[in-house]
Amino acid sequence: MVLPTGFGLPPLPYLVVLLGGVVLLAALLVALEPPVDQRTVVALAPWMALGGALHALNQPPIELYDATLSPLFGTPAVYLTTFNTMATVWLLLSMFGVRTGHAENVSRNLGLVGTGVLTVVLLLSAITALRSGLVEPVWPALAVLVSLFVAAIVVLAVALWRTPLIIRARYAAPVVVFAHVFDGVSTAIGTDILGVSERSPLPRAIMEFAGSLPTAAAIGSGWLFVLVKIVVATGVVVLMDDYLNDDPVEASLLLSLVAAVGIGPATNNVVLFLFAG
């Protein structure tokens, strides 16, 4: 089994609408050709986190959505829902930017809108947790702070090792590294401290292996997954250096996808942690 537990397609009408939206909006974006560079990776980061947060609100013990909306926020439907929302905003901002002669601000505005929407969703999550009496703010906050610290150390280490690389990838590299460190740290907290079962088979296998080591009794099993995430993120940043220089548009989009694989699940984790009280 290579897919996460709970992975399942939504009912056919939802799937048709979601996939149709993805195809249409992607085609419109390709035709419009909004500016894409490393700053786009930063701008897309809050949207990646938004997808994870929206998915968390569809899981026990939260289950915020009614039966009509719930299929839009399962796995993998939530990724399509988030893309369609983000792409619509991106198109509107691109058309407005072209009309006003400020196309260079499209990525910045996309990031600001995404941050605003994410903030609203996180506040809604916190309010829901308070009302349910399950609120636990410590572990979500700790996951974010530890991830920021570890990611900063990793980026600094890479900068000392290959300074020109970090200068060239100064926007994309920190996002990719933080995204995967955040996923690793939040997963480790969930597994070792909160006793949450990992739904994805590969991380689960890594942590099961770490749990069989003599170190498990002292430092748990999540540390190995964090280490793997650091190595993978660093390796991607290093290997993408030439690609980012030769084709910045394609490389930036690919780095965005790599970052999304980390930051989405990580945000899902920390929103669920709010309800761990």
| 194, 205 contact by CB (below 8 A) | no
- Taking each continuous run of H as one helix and of E as one strand, the counts in the chain are 12, 0
Percentage of residues in the chain having pLDDT higher than 90: 77
Confidence class for position 256, pLDDT limits 50, 70, 90? very high
Residue identified by tokens 């949450």 is 196
In the predicted model, is pLDDT for residue 120 greater than 60? yes
In the predicted model, is pLDDT for residue 153 greater than 60? yes
Domain regions of the chain by residue span? 12-273
* Contacting residues for 96 by C-beta, under 8 A, at least 6 apart: none
* Contacting residues for 193 by C-beta, under 8 A, at least 6 apart: 139
Cis-peptide, bond into residue 76, ω within 30° of zero: yes
In the predicted model, is pLDDT for residue 124 greater than 80? yes
Radius of gyration of the chain (CA): 19
In the predicted model, is pLDDT for residue 76 greater than 60? yes
The reported pTM is 0.94
Q: What is the DSSP letter of 10?
A: P
Residue range 108-134: average pLDDT?
92
Confidence class for position 224, pLDDT limits 50, 70, 90? very high
In the predicted model, is pLDDT for residue 134 greater than 80? no
Q: Which of 49, 67, 59 is nearest to 197 (CA)?
A: 59
